[in-house]
Amino acid sequence: MKIENQITSKIAEAVSILFNITVSPAQAAVQKTKSEFVGDFTLVVFPFVKASKLSPENTAQKIGEWLQKEMKEITSFNVVKGFLNLELSNEYWWEFFTSNYKNSSFGYTPINESSKIQMVEYCGPNTNKPLHLGHVRNCLLGYSVCEILKANGNKVIKVNIVNDRGIHICKSMLAWKKYGAGETPESSGMKGDHLVGKYYVEFDKHYKKQVNDSMAQGLTKEEAEKNAPLMLEVKQMLRDWEDGDEATLALWNKMNGWVYDGFDITYAKLGVDFDKIYYESQTYLYGKEIVLNGLQREIMQQRADGSIYIDLSKDGLDEKTLLRSDGTSVYITQDIGTAVLRANDYHFSNLAYVVANEQDYHFKVLFLILQKLGYTWANGLYHLSYGMVELPEGKMKSREGTVVDADDLMEQMILTADKTTRELGKIDDFDSVEANDLFRTIGMGALKYFMLKVDPKKKMLFNPAESIDFNGHTGPFIQYTYARINSLLKKAAASAIEPLKMPMEIQNKERELVKMVYDFPSVINQAAETYSPALVANYVYELVKNYNSFYHDFPILKEEDSTTRIFRINLSLFCAQVIKNSMKLLGIEVPERM
């Protein structure tokens, strides 16, 4: 049992004996003592004042005296108004340290047969364009959440949904057919997803010209957009696809194949993967069946024009159309079918959708519909709603080709890492292979950390230049500290190391480091419960800051007292392992040397 849980249990016992009241675990819970006060854990005593019939200070004093007498781990306490600050013994922290400092998987909870199955959906690309900056945040966030859930003892299923059908996909297809002259990834030298994205932009360019020409002839904008020849052609192509026209399906399969090959390259560069990829083209019909069944069960209703909808007005939402009057499905219809298929495939306990906050309303509606359809697992659905990524110059627009391409972004990050690392002289003894691997590690580490250190719910402004700073709140700063510790440990290994013993005196900064690594399992637990990699990212940054302060203030290898020297070496080892484990949860590699 964790020490804070032991203390909470003893506090409940104390107030029962001292004040003759029964309290809940929440009332008796302790929290970490704030840095400006002396202590390890703090109890707020105000809930007990009425029963104690004493001042808050005297109430805290009595509880503190009782705890110090009953728990050998508590060596002292102090009272600040209604707050009881408890200090644990060095012996307690030493026992924790010696029990865990060699554990390479410290902080991770093992997965067993009784572990929950947690499913996470992330990425969700369209097959009419390559992945962009927004997908980068989505992918990195989803992958990191999966790693954190696994580290918290869950079985995790990573899934993707590819939006491979619909009018937008047909726009790229039609533009390639009309203007592509047989161009292929091989003939152009372009990645397949980039090539298809090129024709999505090409469609928009020609379509806008047709609209402007029609408006110049006196049509309203609405009329011009609706009757533009390209729009009429693309709608016919979509009908041909849904009717199973062989030529249309052949083109669709060919161009989607190009895109999938391109996506796979991008996923590998990002370091993300999936256990299962679902395709909208394979799930939307299943969704239609579920909606028609819901109509028979009178969960849904039918309008006079034949369209099917569900009335959610009593739940504070609106009417939602699920099938159009011509029988075609809408986006949420596919989501209903996909969710049911996944539940049948994996029998998950929870399913988290990593999707930007622009879709908040969509997921409220989706979850409520699934609940009304009677799926008990729908209570375990969660929308990890994250803020959009913007650039200093504003929002991106796919149709206008103004997005930040994921592949270009990663390449630029690696080039920036190359330039910065060379300027700092950190690769003087590296061969070219080692150097290029280091540039990739630093560049991708900078990108991932910058994306993940921000609370997922917040909108973020991405500035690549700020992300690569060896002295800032960045991935490279953390990576460099790990490499520094690793260098120290290699030097220590070259000399004889005596058995580890408790020093006569443990300095405050050493004690604080031990306490910080102690917190790591709790950080993982909280990050898993809140689906927030930012908690891990900011925790490891604070750990690194504290370690660097310790490294600066105290000799390690040059410490003359052998007992203290060996302790500091192994404290460095423990910190390095927690840094590495933390960064792994963020999908970030740490270099062995820099």
Domain end call among 71, 88, 105: 88
What residues form DSSP beta bridges with 381?
Answer: 351
Q: Do 57 and 82 touch, CB atoms closer than 8 A?
A: yes
Any residues with CB less than 8 A from the CB of 114 and at least 6 apart, and which? none
DSSP type of residue 593: -
The residue among 31, 63, 88 that closes a domain is 88
**Ranges of the chain whose pLDDT falls below 70:** 392-402, 494-497
The answer to whether position 37 is within a domain reads yes
**pLDDT for res 429:** 82
The closest of 241, 249, 322 to 288, measured between CA atoms, is: 322
CATH of the domain at 504: 1.10.730.10
Q: Is residue 538 part of a domain?
A: yes
Interhelix angle 432-452/475-493, nearest 10 degrees: 130
Q: Using alpha carbons only, what angle is made at residue 511 by residues 149 and 68, rounded to the nearest 5 degrees?
A: 95
* Residue 215 within a domain: no
Name residues whose C-beta falls within 8 Å of residue 189's C-beta, 6 or more positions apart in sequence: none
pLDDT of residue 401: 47
122 Cβ partners below 8 Å, 6+ apart?
A: 138, 139, 141, 142, 143, 145, 158, 160, 272, 354
Neighbouring residues of 501: CB distance < 8 A, sequence distance ≥ 6: 563, 566, 567
**Per the domain annotation, does 358 fall within a domain?**
no
Q: Which two tokens stand for residue 131?
A: 């992945």
- Which pLDDT score, from 0 to 100, does residue 244 have? 94
Q: Report phi then psi at 48, rounded to 5.
A: -105, -5
Residue 443 lies in a domain: yes
- Please tell me whether residue 355 adopts helix, strand or coil conformation: strand
Please report whether residue 220 resides in a domain.
no
Residues 6+ apart with CB under 8 A from 153: 109, 110, 111, 112, 115
Last residue of a domain, one of 57, 88, 119: 88
What's the confidence (pLDDT) of residue 467?
80
CA distances from 463 to 357, 449, 451, 536 (A): 21, 12, 10, 21
**pLDDT given at position 394:** 52
Domain membership flag for residue 576: yes
- pTM to 2 decimals? 0.93
The predicted pLDDT at position 447 comes to 95
Q: What is the CATH number of the domain that holds 42?
A: 3.30.1360.70
Which tens digits make up the pLDDT trace of 292-309?
A: 999 999 999 999 999 999
Query: Could you give the CA distance from residue 312 to residue 61 in angstroms, rounded to a whole number?
Result: 55
How confident is the model at residue 495, as a pLDDT?
63
Q: How many domains does the chain have?
A: 2
Which run of H or of E encompasses 64?
helix 56-70
Per-residue model confidence as pLDDT tens digits over 88-143: 999 999 999 999 999 999 999 999 989 999 999 999 999 999 999 999 999 999 99
Determine the structural domain holding residue 538 and report its residue range. Answer: 406-585
Other CB atoms within a 10 A radius of the CB of residue 221 amount to 11
Task: Give the three-state DSSP class for 460.
Answer: strand
- pLDDT computed for residue 494 by the predictor: 65
In a domain, 305, yes or no: no
Residue with tokens 């924790």: 96
pLDDT, position 396: 44
